[in-house]
Structure 1
Amino acid sequence: METTDVATFETRLLRPAKPGEDDSWAFIVLPRAASDQLPRRGRTSVEGTINGYAFSATLDPDGQLGHWFTVSRELREAAGANIGDTVTVRISPADPEPEPRLPDDLREALAAHPAAKACWDATTTIARVDWIHWIESAKQASTRARRVDSACDMLASGRKRVCCFDQSGFYSKSLSAPRAAD
């Protein structure tokens, strides 16, 4: 991977306080200075290295105008890092931004709404990232289902961007990095 580093920093590999059923993952919160060098406050894809081991990831907003990302067990092991270790991270924006994975519920809804699907196909990759992020940021299943329906309605009417969604989570505080275990 050949990238021009946008940010290089050292940080601690954190264990989530509530890892869910899979307790093998860790996470990294980018220092504010590193996030400030990225092109967006919302989700953004990067390429980089952890302790010299190459990776690619989609950074999530931390609700403080910064970013965080999940580090899998496989990535930790390949980078020779344990939870709690200080690691050296180098990142740069992915170019081009990779196409986001379409969630099953949205894929099915778009398949059932040809006009919405046509508008979806005409949007930019970044717009699709934002639509998916808006849907996936719903805390309840009923809210998510309403957002999928609303997305199809908005797209079918020709709207290529989701409106009224703070991709950074800063103003609504709907998004945040996981809380680290002590």
Structure 2
Amino acid sequence: MDVTFTAPIGVTVRDDVWSCVEIPDSLELLGTGKAVRVVATVDDHPLRAGLMPTGSGGHMLSISAKLRTQLGKGIGDTVTVHLSERLT
């Protein structure tokens, strides 16, 4: 897996904005609507994380408060995500 994209932090789930980034074309990329663990970077910060189903057929990557602080970014700010390895 070698996918890089840029997206804003903030995904609307049940009328609330979650601190996540939506993965473009994730259903085609991953071949499943279930959660998938990956190795990734967010603005060059490495992490292992689960891509969670959005409920509408896609996936999202959670951007924790700790990571947002390290990046100096908040809801609405854009990050660059690189997915380098699928673990599950």
- Higher strand proportion (structure 1 or 2): 2
Say which of 55, 58, 61 aligns to 1:63: 55
Aligned Cα root-mean-square deviation (Å): 2.3
The answer as to 2:79 corresponding to 1:83 is: no
Does structure 2 retain, via aligned residues, the 8 Å contact 1:52–1:79? no
Higher relative contact order at CA 8 Å, sep ≥6: structure 1 or structure 2? 2
CA deviation vs aligned residue, 1:156-177 (integer Å, no higher than 9, x gap) = xxxxxxxxxxxxxxxxxxxxxx
Structure 1: which 4+ aligned runs deviate by more than 3 Å?
15-19, 92-95
Say which of 29, 40, 44 aligns to 2:22: 29
The answer as to 2:5 corresponding to 1:9 is: yes
Matched position secondary structure for 1:37: helix
Identity of aligned residues (%): 30
Does structure 1 retain, via aligned residues, the 8 Å contact 2:11–2:22? no
Structure 2: which 5+ residue stretches go unaligned?
Answer: none
Matched position secondary structure for 2:50: strand
- Higher helix proportion (structure 1 or 2): 1
Give the 3 Å change call, closer, same or farther, for CA 64–71 of structure 1 in structure 2.
same
Matched position secondary structure for 1:65: coil
Larger of the two Rg values belongs to structure: 1
